[in-house]
Chain A
Amino acid sequence: MIVYFSGSARELEKDAPVFREIIQCLQDHGAVIANSWFEGAALRGVLPQSMERWREIVSEAAMGIRDADVVIVEGSGRSGFGVGFELAEALRLEKSTILLISDTERDNSYAAGLEQTRLRVVFYSRKDIKINLSRELADVRIREAS
């Protein structure tokens, strides 16, 4: 199963531990992560500034979503433009999409209001994220197989 993972790079220092747990959980389930932006960005610690590099990033994201079986989006309150853009693109392409929102940011997450056929919205806390994500991945596998 090929998975595209989308999350905000705005506060990467703060979000990196959660993103790592999500990616580890996906890999434990045999998923292949379609995009590798996260570790590269975490290592650099700064976002690229050149327009040329951003064009490549946007293009890679479009290809990653197109090629993925499942799209996982971490869309908690502080998520930015790119995450929203990618989620809409995944839904347009009718990808099975799991939207993860932190329990603590439920009230200020635009994403919490989205309702679409191919979208599963999952509220999580740090301690149960792996359990919730595992359950959702199993459901996706059953839906895709039937």
Chain B
Amino acid sequence: MKVLFAAASTSYARNMEVYERIKKQIQALGHEVYFDGQDATAVESTGSVRSLDDDDWKVLCDREVGAAQECDAAIFDVSDKATFGVGFMASICVSKGTPTLFLLRDDTVGGSFVSGLQRACLQRKSFNTANVAGKVRKFLEGVRV
């Protein structure tokens, strides 16, 4: 199964340990993972946003939109300030009925567009570093292709 995992580029530096756990869990279940952070070399350790020229943005967008269209399941970290790109990919996934998991860190506060979304294919789970792999495993074990 192809599994897309995505998060705001501004979250990579801070959450890389968590994201590596998610990626490893997906692979441990025998799935192919597309993680948009794996090529995000332009993301500085300060956590600043990506800065690319137009052509590089086109390459990145093509790849990510393609992954959203082709995946069998999708997982998004929507804690903190989920970004435009995450919203764009999530929209493609849920409109196709792709089983989708929104992960929200335990300490995420307040309402947002994310909290108002309701779709039959969409699940939400809160997580912390210790339990994130288990949450991902449970979600993927419930997905039938």
Residues of B within 8 A of A57 (CB): 113, 116
The segment from A14-22, A25-33, A43-51, A124-132 found at the interface with B is A43-51
Count A-B contacts at CB 8 Å: 123
User: Are the CB atoms of B84 and A81 closer together than 8 Å?
Assistant: yes
User: Are the CB atoms of B91 and A80 closer together than 8 Å?
Assistant: no
The answer to whether B83 has its CB under 8 Å from any CB of chain A is yes
The answer to whether A113 has its CB under 8 Å from any CB of chain B is yes
Residues of B within 8 A of A51 (CB): 111, 115-116
Residues of A within 8 A of B111 (CB): 47-51, 53-54
The answer to whether B18 has its CB under 8 Å from any CB of chain A is no
Residue of B with least CB distance to A106: B54
The answer to whether B110 has its CB under 8 Å from any CB of chain A is yes
Contact with A along B27-69 (1 / 0, CB 8 A): 0000000000000000000000111111011111110010000
Taken together as a complex, chains A and B put the C-alpha atoms of A86 and B88 apart, in Å, by 8
Pick from A48, A55, A92, A110: contact of B84, CB under 8 Å: A110
The answer to whether A10 has its CB under 8 Å from any CB of chain B is yes
The answer to whether A107 has its CB under 8 Å from any CB of chain B is yes
Residues of A within 8 A of B85 (CB): 84, 110
**Residues 87-146 (chain A) with a chain B CB within 8 angstroms:** 87-89, 92, 106-115
Q: A55-B118, A113-B61 are known contacts. Are A107 and B87 too (CB-CB below 8 A)? A: no
Closest CB of chain B to A107's CB: distance in Å?
5
Number of chain A residues close to chain B: CB under 8 A: 37
Residue of A with least CB distance to B118: A55
Contact with B along A43-82 (1 / 0, CB 8 A): 0000111110111111100000000000000010101111
Residues of B within 8 A of A80 (CB): 81-84, 87, 113
The answer to whether B143 has its CB under 8 Å from any CB of chain A is no
User: Are the CB atoms of B61 and A108 closer together than 8 Å?
Assistant: no
Interface-central residue, B52, B81, B88, B117, by most chain A CB under 10 Å: B88
Closest CB of chain A to B65's CB: distance in Å?
8
Q: Which of B's residues lie within 8 Å of A, judged by CB? A: 49-54, 56-62, 65, 78, 81-92, 95, 110-118
> What would 12 more interface pairs be, CB under 8 Å, given A82-B112, A113-B61?
A49-B111, A54-B116, A58-B116, A81-B82, A81-B90, A81-B113, A85-B88, A85-B117, A89-B91, A109-B84, A111-B84, A111-B88
